[in-house]
Structure 1
Amino acid sequence: MKYSKLFSPIKIGSITIKNRFAMAPMGPLGLADANGGWNQRGIDYYVERAKGGTGLIITGVTFFDQVVEKQDPSTVPNPLYKPVNFVKTSREMTERIHAYGSKIFLQLSGGFGRVTIPTNVGDIPPIAPSAIPHRWLDKTCRAITVDEIHAIVKQFGEAAFHAKRAGFDGVQIHAVHEGYLIDQFAISMFNQRTDEYGGSLENRLRFAKEIVEEIKKTCGDDFPVTLRFSVKSMIKDWRVGALPGEDFEEKGRDTEEGLKAAKLLESYGYDALDTDVGTYDAWWWNHPPMYQKKGLYRGYCKMVKEVVDIPVFCAGRMDNPDMALEAIENGECDVIDLGRPLLADPDYCNKLRCGKITQIRPCISCHEGCMGRVASYSLLNCAVNPQAARERVNAYEPILKKKKVLIVGGGVAGCEAARVLAIRGHQPVVYEKGSRLGGNLIPGGAPDFKEDDIALADWYTNELNRLGVHAHLNTELNEEEIKAMDYDTVILATGSKPKVFSLGDDSHTYTAEQVLLKQKDAGKKTVVVGGGLVGCETALWLAQNGIHVTIVEALDKVMAVNGPLCAANKEMLEALLPFNGVEIITGAKVTEFANGEVKVDTKEGSKTIMSDSVILSVGYKEENTLYNNLQFDIPDLYLLGDAKKVSNIMYAIWDAFEVANHI
């Protein structure tokens, strides 16, 4: 079997993991009960990934501090809030996970410090090693005291004790990574102390050293303690991160110091380093959007592996099995972390082990269902998998009678509805007017950095074929044809159309979709009207292909109306545009396009831009004509996707799942 090496066992401290895959820690927002334990959603969520073949489950961050940086116990689990409840609920989870031969580590947080996200942790005073600026709030943090450091260290030992009692196989410390509190101590930019916790690298790592020593003293040397570790910070300045390929002066931890830190952390007793790069000031490194290349940490992990003798984990868009295998064979890492890919498909490992690669549902790195919802609503979900963290609530409903279901439209909503209906035992048939399934995934996936949109469209095509769903392509139905057909239920997922208007030269005015599909040539210079997500991504793609692009946006900033868009995605795209030479004019309106001249009304007055074309990206309009004409003729009729309301991929899939699961 080609990927057999990915399924060879490996030791982490005293325990053996059955394969080389770990579930990367992702914040378990919405998975806790009010008493600091796991709710049923949390238990089901982690068990499902163990059932899917993952060798090691690492929970997302759990808090425990009851002294310095108190957290709402209903935000994430907390082993010290009510230890009996934590142990009781954890036992149910760990015992079920062990039934599948998987191991599970509890990730313990030393605190957020200057990077507290207000919507997640409530109204608490921000702390830090020193009086430094907060990452998000217009506040100066309070310097933590030595006694408070000692209190946190002691609580680490107590929390790990309860984790061990609850059946966890080890713990992961959160973290000398991403700029969290312990990392703030480790980075000289943030740590301006003059006591034993500041100054030299050894002093700045003293907090991390005392933590592992306390846990080993409490739980024994045979209880594995791993560490989430960022080898390089990627900080240009306060709240300003570097871009891939950018020449900059590192203000945080540089690679040289990172490798020294790795060796010290091993000497302190850590059993493995779960390695990445970045900080909250350069958030698009730790939470890589689609604009980051796949496997972006591999080189850094290899450098760490060359200086330590403990296992090194590598995350960072490692969902390509060939890339994962190559990383293991090249000695770049020992374990592959899968975070968002296991949100998208909990059965990733089992499918790969059996060679069913085309059945693995791809993550599209959109962050909409995970980090976007975590930051906005304190809920962890997945855009492409409506069952993620809702495994029991969204389990497939049994059917009493098979129904024939007509689905008009083969975009994501139509495909998801057909998939769910077929799995449940109904008989769906899809009619799509285009030449392939996928709808807006096809133009959306045209840029190189959106390759996973195409992968998702291909996945739907393969799944419907595997499930025996007949898809009629290049076939557009009208209302009379639909009324004449014999179906129990009709779903209309007829999508949307780009909004267009005339500026004068209609022959050189195109939609973003036409340009993305290469139906129209934008020329050497173009103006994109509209700075939403589609307009910005189109502009970036064109600029990366040597075209001079100007974005004209009516609002005061680009991407003002997209959400919940994760800060990592939004901030990286905003930074990439000028980095690639895209000019941006906000608070402006295009009034005319003629003879290669684009007239723009700006706050400073009228402006003329020479351009070969104008690309309209001002939104979409629901294509719901069929529904309006049929709504009084068909009893069991549903409207889904953009045809119902123009939105994003996530809500198209989620709504389709909800409806199709209850027909």
Structure 2
Amino acid sequence: MRDKYASLFEETAIGTCRLKNRFAMAPMGPLGLGDAEGGFNQRGIDYYVERARGGTGLIITGVTFVDNRIEQHDMPSVPCSTHNSVHFIRTARELTEKIHAYDSKIFLQLSGGFGRVTIPTNLGEHPPVAPSPIPHRWLDKTCRPLTREEIHEIVVQFGKGAFHAKRAGFDGVQIHAVHEGYLLDQFAIALFNQRDDEYGGSLENRLRFAREVLMEIKRTCGADFPVTLRYSVKSFIKDWRVGALPGEAFSEKGKDVAEGIEAARLLAQYGYDALDVDVGCYDAWWWNHPPMYQEKGLYIPYAKMVREAVDVPVICAGRMDDPELALKALNEGACDIISLGRPLLADPEYVNKLAAGHTAAIRPCISCQEGCMGRIQEYSALNCAVNPQACRERSERLVPAPRQKRILIVGGGVAGCEAARVLALRGHEPAVYEKTDRLGGNLIPGGMPSFKEDDHALAAWYAHQLKQLGVAVHLNAAMDAEAIRNWGADAVIVATGSNPKMVTLEGAPLYPAADVLLGRVKAGQDVVVIGGGLVGCEIALWLREQQKTVTIVETLPKLLAINAPLCHANSDMLAALIPFKGIDAITSAKVTGYEDGSALVETADGTRRVKADTVIAAIGYLPENTLYQKLRPELPELYLLGDARRVANIMYAIWDAYEVASHIQ
């Protein structure tokens, strides 16, 4: 396997910094990983070291601020090398020394600020700033333009921040960023930069801020200290706060490819040692934070354009977890380094497992963004939906059980599988009884659309893990209360999932969504989907890909109103795809009947008849906890997990199972 992927494990370099392989950890917001004085807390140290231990050649930290006066940030927010430099160096030095023990390198990502795109939960009461008095991305506010003196102060702070990073043992820095519409990118994009001084107007003027940052760091740290740049080639902005979709014809209001390539040439000429390439902007943030609805390797074409235009290394991220895709990108000259972000949240040992040929053991990222961007957005905390230990490596470390217990797990969905995995790792003897012929529960119907393939990959990973751990798995094995009583378990976990909610429509060809997804029922040409939540919208998109005529009927005023993905990059893209793909959506409406081949839809304007040879119910699920309720008065150690306890998402099924299974003594 190492021979097959030999190119990925070749040594390479960024400036004077040698890298042992072609893998980098992409920068991801380190919310929760800093302390009140701007240093790295123990969680942050453990988090990055775990990825180095897993074989990653280059660790790039998430964003750290250099300025807290002009664009103010609440502390603790993220590490800051200029807030209390002595404390920062003390904590960061512990981090870098541990990273180097694994022959990995580490760059500190330094940010000049977020400007108009600061997420409101992180903004607090602080006034947003920008190059010009332009609208904030999220709030009904106009940003305050920076003065020339403030720009100069931020430049000086970059130099100080990089100097402290070098003292702390970092091997280089990455500048955040002429990318994603952050502050430096706002200066680079004419839509946002309406200045008439030396920082506005021509492309060279709009890049002046980024150039001065580089010059100051090289002045303070020396010409040989590597400085890389996070860089977006194209913005995909249709209008203020409106992004374009893949394949959509539109007029670019932000940075187009021609200007993006020219800017890349200039940035390389200025002396940046590498460009870390992607596309997108927070106005179109499903590009820079790609959900499962974006294709894998979506940045490869843009990275290749940059690679052909510059003479410095190019780093490429963007759903690059498929090693075949990564190998192809590298061998075809699209990039020099493969950057993995969320895949290393999901599995910090990705690189070592790939090197050893253990690809089936790599836990897949499902691009749900629930634990990462979603939690950053809502709670200022970085985690991972499929890996409960991410950013909690020490506190969630598994401890061997004091004595082995025989534990019966009823249900082989996500919660049951995770509980079995954790119990086996701790030394217990779990056994899983699943009533169907396959592990995975709702991952199986949920993963049927092509854009949800990683749901099936996660189910396959669980099957592989349980086999490797020697867990007894019984398929096509329904359990009743009597069988559970007679099994002789020391503890019982009930993870029996949920049942779909249904409506009554006399005479209608009405089916639950899972039956259609699993092929038990073949949908006709004209389909009405009752329910505009996540399942309803995704099955509608899947059927539309099959050239079906699809109409969604939702009782609430908008789609994805109650159970949308936590991360808006996912929900916003899915909501935008519905009309773009030609799916009709009738909101504030209800299907009240069926006659003569049509669904009767009650709206504020009266009853509409919608042709339908198939009607799909996608209105949610109800917990199936009958067994638990029967056994609850009898069994002294009984647990209820997954949808059987509370219908939620994959993340909470996994997290709750990990929590319970890690503490059964």
Number of the residue aligned with 1:358:
360
Q: Distance in 2 between matches of 1:455 and 1:278?
A: 27
Change (3 A) 1:166 1:390: same
Mapped partners of 1:566, 1:339: distance in 2: 16
CA contact under 8 A between 1:64 and 1:80: conserved in structure 2? yes
**Deviation for aligned residue 1:563:** 5.3
1:142-189 deviation line (CA, Å, top 9, x unaligned): 111111100100000000011111111110000000000100000011
AA at the equivalent of 1:518: G
Runs of 4+ in 1 over 2 A off after TM superposition: none
Q: Which residue of 2 aligns with 1:415?
A: 417
- What per-residue deviation string (whole Å, max 9, x for no partner) do you get for residues 87-140 of structure 1? 111011111111011100000111111111110232211111111111111111
Which residue is 1:593 aligned to?
594
**What SS does structure 2 have at the residue aligned with 1:275?**
strand
Deviations 1:406-446 (A, max 9, x none): 00000000000001111111111100000100000000000
Q: Is the 8 A contact 1:288 1:568 kept in 2?
A: yes
The 5 Å alignment of 1:5-20 reads 5-20=7-22
After superposition, give the CA deviation of every residue in 1:56-100 in whole Å (9 maximum; x if it has no partner). Answer: 000000112133102112011111111111111101111111101
Larger deviation, residues 341-350 vs 137-146: 137-146
For residue 90 of structure 1, what is the aligned residue in structure 2? 92
Aligned counterpart in structure 2 of residue 211 of structure 1, from 191, 210, 213: 213
SS at match of 1:300: helix
- Is residue 473 of structure 2 the alignment partner of residue 471 of structure 1? yes
Q: Distance in 2 between matches of 1:216 and 1:457?
A: 49
Deviation at 1:600, TM superposition (A): 1.2
Distance in 2 between the 1:66 and 1:294 partners? 36
Work out whether 1:541 is the aligned partner of 2:542: yes
Within 2, Cα distance between the matches of 1:509 and 1:552? 14
| C-alpha distance in 1 between matches for 2:314 and 2:52 | 21
Is residue 2:621 matched to residue 1:656? no
Distance 1:481 1:66, change over 3 A: closer
Establish whether residue 391 from structure 1 lines up as the match of residue 393 from structure 2.
yes
Q: CA deviation at 1:594?
A: 2.6
* Equivalent residue, structure 1, for 2:563: 562
Partner of 1:176: 178
**1: distance between equivalents of 2:229 and 2:575?**
32
SS in 2 for 1:284: coil
Q: Distance in 2 between matches of 1:52 and 1:268?
A: 34
Question: Structure 1 counterpart of 2:633, which letter?
Answer: F
Q: Is the Cα–Cα contact under 8 Å of residues 495 and 641 in structure 1 kept in the other structure?
A: yes
1:367-516 equivalent positions in 2, closer than 5 A: 367-506=369-508, 508-516=509-517
Question: What letter corresponds to residue 546 of structure 1 in structure 2?
Answer: Q
Q: Is the 8 A contact 1:523 1:547 kept in 2?
A: yes
CA contact (8 A) 1:369 1:650 kept: yes
Residues 623 and 643 in structure 1, CA contact (< 8 A), matched pair in contact too: yes
The structure 1 residue matched to 2:56, chosen from 35, 54, 57, is 54
Question: Unpaired runs of 5+ in structure 2?
Answer: none
Distance 1:88 1:298 in 2: 38
Secondary structure of the equivalent of 2:275? strand
Q: How does 1:63-462 map to 2 (within 5 A)?
A: 63-462=65-464
SS of structure 2 residue aligned to 1:659:
helix
| Structure-1 residue corresponding to 2:635 | 634
Distance, in Å, in 1 between the alignment partners of 2:552 and 2:347 is 37
**Cα-Cα RMSD:** 0.8
3-state DSSP of counterpart to 1:388: coil
Residue type of the alignment partner of 2:112 = G
3-state SS of the aligned residue for 1:223? coil
- Are the equivalent residues in 2 in contact too, given 1:372–1:563 (CA < 8 A)? no
Supply the AA of the counterpart residue of 1:385.
N
Does the aligned pair in 1 maintain the 2:389–2:397 contact within 8 Å?
Answer: yes
Distance in 2 between the 1:373 and 1:320 partners?
A: 25
Shifted more, 540-549 versus 602-611: the winner is: 602-611
Q: Deviations over 1:504-553 (max 9, x none)?
A: 124x1011111111111221111111111011101111111101111111
Instruction: Give me the whole-angstrom Cα distance separating, in 2, the residues matched to 1:567 and 1:648.
Output: 15
8 A contact 1:373–1:564 mirrored in 2: no
Is contact 1:509–1:613 with CA below 8 Å preserved after alignment? yes
Deviations 1:349-390 (CA, angstroms, capped at 9, x unpaired): 000011000000000000000000000000100000000000
Q: How far apart are the structure 2 equivalents of 1:25 and 1:155?
A: 20
For residue 500 of structure 1, give the secondary structure of its aligned residue in structure 2. Answer: coil
- C-alpha distance in structure 1 between counterparts of 2:437 and 2:286, whole Å: 36
- Contact preservation (8 Å) 2:437, 2:475: yes
Structure 1 range deviating more: 630-639 or 211-220 = 630-639
> Within 5 Å, which residues of 2 pair with 1:507-526?
508-526=509-527
1:27 aligns to what? Answer: 29
Question: Does the Cα contact within 8 Å between 1:410 and 1:432 map onto a contact in 2?
Answer: yes
Counterpart residue type for residue 45 of structure 2: I
Q: Percent identity?
A: 66
**Whole-Å separation in 2 of the counterparts to 1:610 and 1:320:** 41
Aligned to 1:44: 46
Contact 1:376 1:564 in 2 (8 A): no
Instruction: Report deviation, 1:621.
Output: 0.5
Decide whether the 8 Å contact of 2:371 with 2:382 is kept in 1. yes
2: CA distance between counterparts of 1:522 and 1:552?
17
Secondary structure of the corresponding residue to residue 18 of structure 2? strand
Is the contact made by 2:565 and 2:571 (CA closer than 8 Å) also made in structure 1? Answer: no
Contact map agreement 1:173 1:227 (CA 8 A) in 2: yes
Distance 2:191 2:519 in 1: 47
- Tell me the TM-score normalised to structure 2 length: 0.99
Any conservation in 1 of the 2:347–2:387 contact (CA below 8 Å)? Answer: yes
Q: Residue 541 of structure 2 aligns to which amino acid in structure 1?
A: L
Distance 1:121 1:306 in 2: 39
Deviations 1:325-347 (A, max 9, x none): 11111000000000000000000
Unaligned runs of 5+ in 1: none
Residue 622 of structure 2 is matched in structure 1 by 621
Contact 1:441 1:453 in 2 (8 A): yes
Aligned residues of 1:263 and 1:307 also touching (Cα < 8 A): yes
CA distance in 1, matches of 2:361, 2:92: 31
Where 1:528 maps in the other structure, the secondary structure is: strand
* Contact 1:35/1:85, CA 8 A, preserved across alignment: yes
Q: Secondary structure at the match of 2:198?
A: coil
Q: Matched residues in 1 for 2:68 and 2:245: separation?
A: 38
| In 1: Cα distance, 2:505 partner to 2:122 partner | 45
- Give the match for residue 604 of structure 1: 605
d(CA) in 2 for partners of 1:399 and 1:526? 52
Displacement of 1:564 in angstroms is 5.6
Give secondary structure in 1 for the equivalent of 2:592.
strand
Is residue 57–residue 104 contact of structure 1 (8 Å, CA) maintained in 2? Answer: yes
